[in-house]
Chains A and B, each alone.
Chain A
Amino acid sequence: MVKRNHRSAYLLILPYLLFLGVFLIYPILFSVWLTFHDWNIVSTDIPFVGLENYKRLMEDELFFTSLWNTVRFILINIPLQIVLALLLAVALNQPIKGRGFFRGAYFLPVVTSGVVISFLWAWMLSTDGGIINEVLGRIGIPPVPWLTSETWAIPSLAWVAAWKNLGYYVVIFLAGLQGIPKNLYEAARMDGASPVQNFFRITLPMLNPAMLLVVILSTINGFQLFTEPFIMTGGGPANSSLSVVMYIYKNAFQSLDMGYAATIGLVLALIILTVSLLQKRFLERDTYY
């Protein structure tokens, strides 16, 4: 029996491993190889350039601009997401009617394509004629160039991404809230604690693991920012919303600079991996989740 298990087990896993090898392991090695070469994908002559691509990266202002844009995006996106998701999750956690409906409504943008959401919000945020500015105009606020100014482009994108993912994080927080033992609150009530005190002394600390999960997931997500700026701003104005992934795309498909594009991809992956590893360490320290 055990022997039989052996052979069929390998056979069962083989197709998946084939995929893994061809479309994951090989590309990773290929990617590393590419970073040491200069290739436009067409020419048969592929010169080895050593660390040239890495050197260029370190001196490339535009790369750092795109990195800074992405980091700015994350720094605005995360707090926005956490505060709103927490607010909605706490409200949903009350004994109320229609919880399923509300939760379902919040989740709607999560399942919808980023393409849909980007166009929808690009339209709502357009400076002239967009609904947001029209409504603001009614209360006397002059039109804000949401997507066409250096100041507002990244915050606007951060808001749109938060809007898209909020429902997802509401569900995570809700699961976290429901896992908090009720007797903690009862004990606190005996001591005469106010609901606000309860929230900061019990709820928030108990939600720590969920919070970390949300932070890490949105960080990883944030570094992969592409669809929203690609559609809503094209990376502008003046590269103020160019994301790292857009910059990879640009190098690869506007300049056919595959070696350099792969180099940026590798560096970005290392940044993301470092963040994920930090996540793992944080999460493993807490066995709650």
Chain B
Amino acid sequence: MDRISRGLKRMTMYLILIAGAVLFIFPFYWMVLASIKTPEEVFDLSLIPSKVTWDSYVYMFDRIPVWGSLLNSFIFAGGVTLITLIFTSMAGYALARLEFRGRDVLFSVILLTMMIPFQLLMIPLYIIVVKLGWMNTYAGLVLPVSVNALGIFIFRQFFRTVPQELIDAARIDGAGELKILFRIMLPLSKPACVTVAIFTFMGPWNDLLWPLLVTRDQEMMPLAQAATLFGLEGQGGQWGSIMAVTTILAVPVVVLYLFFQRYFIESVSSTGMKG
């Protein structure tokens, strides 16, 4: 009796999990499917297209500079990530391993800045970008959103676990603090680097609001913005080609995710922070 009820319970659990998986994966399948269906079939419920066509992709490539936008996305997300990695690891190292006056106060202040919502900053940041003449430039896109306290938090946490002897030995060899950071601390902290990089990269890659404010020139738009404007355009936009552009937008991050799945998920459960 007990075994039967246990089996039943397992069945239910599997059913729930499979239903969940379908719920989460099917829409993506439906999206890719729509992008390769013929316009006549797009509204059909058929799960396998009778004919595969690339027309939607051709149409989309015709209308928006997809490659340029992808490059812009890489520069935007990559630039923010690079700056964040360098500057927050430096600050994180100082906060973790060096003694100096005001350290704890500074750290609390930095933690406090994590609570400032972007909505408070968006108007002044936009005005700053305009006044600096940074509209429609990579500088305007990247620099104002490269302040990221999460990196400091993670690096500080990680650097504290590195044995002091390693640092002392390097100092005796005459290494400066930056050399210690880049030659010893960072190579030992690959998981921290990957976590910070992933979380930082995803933000700008997926972001719509900030590019919407500071890039108004088609040639400078990251793909998330270009896709949005393409999709919202009244005339000529068709679901097939909209699904084609969203597919292209989703692919890089999904690939990244499949490779680094562990980091994505572990960092959520360990920090409880939102990327």
Contacts and interface: CB of A to CB of B under 8 A. Distances in A.
Interface of A: 1-2, 5-6, 8-13, 15-17, 19-20, 22-24, 26-28, 30-31, 34, 41, 87-88, 91-92, 94, 96, 98, 100-116, 119-121, 123-124, 129, 131, 134-135, 163, 166-168, 171-172, 174-175, 195, 213, 217, 220-221, 223-224, 226-227, 230-231, 234, 244-245, 248-249, 252-253, 258, 261-262, 265-266, 268-269, 272-273, 276, 289
B246 to A, nearest CB: 4
B208 interface: yes
Contact of A289 (B43, B86, B121, B272): B272
Contact of A19 (B116, B146, B224, B257): B146
Interface string B119-130: 111111111101
Interface residues of B, number: 92
A107 B256 CA distance: 13
A266 B120 contact: yes
Contacts of A272: 117, 119
Contacts of B95: 13
28 contacts: A8-B177, A11-B177, A15-B86, A24-B121, A34-B123, A34-B127, A94-B13, A102-B17, A102-B21, A107-B264, A108-B24, A111-B256, A112-B28, A120-B243, A123-B34, A131-B45, A134-B45, A163-B23, A220-B274, A230-B228, A234-B232, A248-B122, A248-B123, A249-B212, A252-B126, A268-B119, A273-B117, A289-B272
Given A106-B24, A108-B254, A115-B224, 13 more contacts: A5-B100, A5-B177, A13-B106, A15-B90, A19-B147, A30-B128, A96-B17, A108-B25, A120-B30, A175-B270, A195-B9, A266-B120, A268-B120
Interface in B93-150: 93-95, 98-101, 103, 106, 110, 113, 115-128, 130, 143-147
A100 B266 CA distance: 12
B60 to A, nearest CB: 12
Nearest to B86: A15
A244 B119 CA distance: 10
Contact of B110 (A20, A101, A119, A273): A20
B7 to A, nearest CB: 12
Interface string B229-266: 00110000001001100100110011011000100110
B117 A168 contact: no
B162 to A, nearest CB: 15
Nearest to B109: A20
Interface in B137-174: 143-147, 152, 171
Contacts of A103: 265
Contacts of B117: 220, 223-224, 268-269, 272-273
B196 interface: no
A92 B122 contact: no
Contacts of B27: 120-121, 124
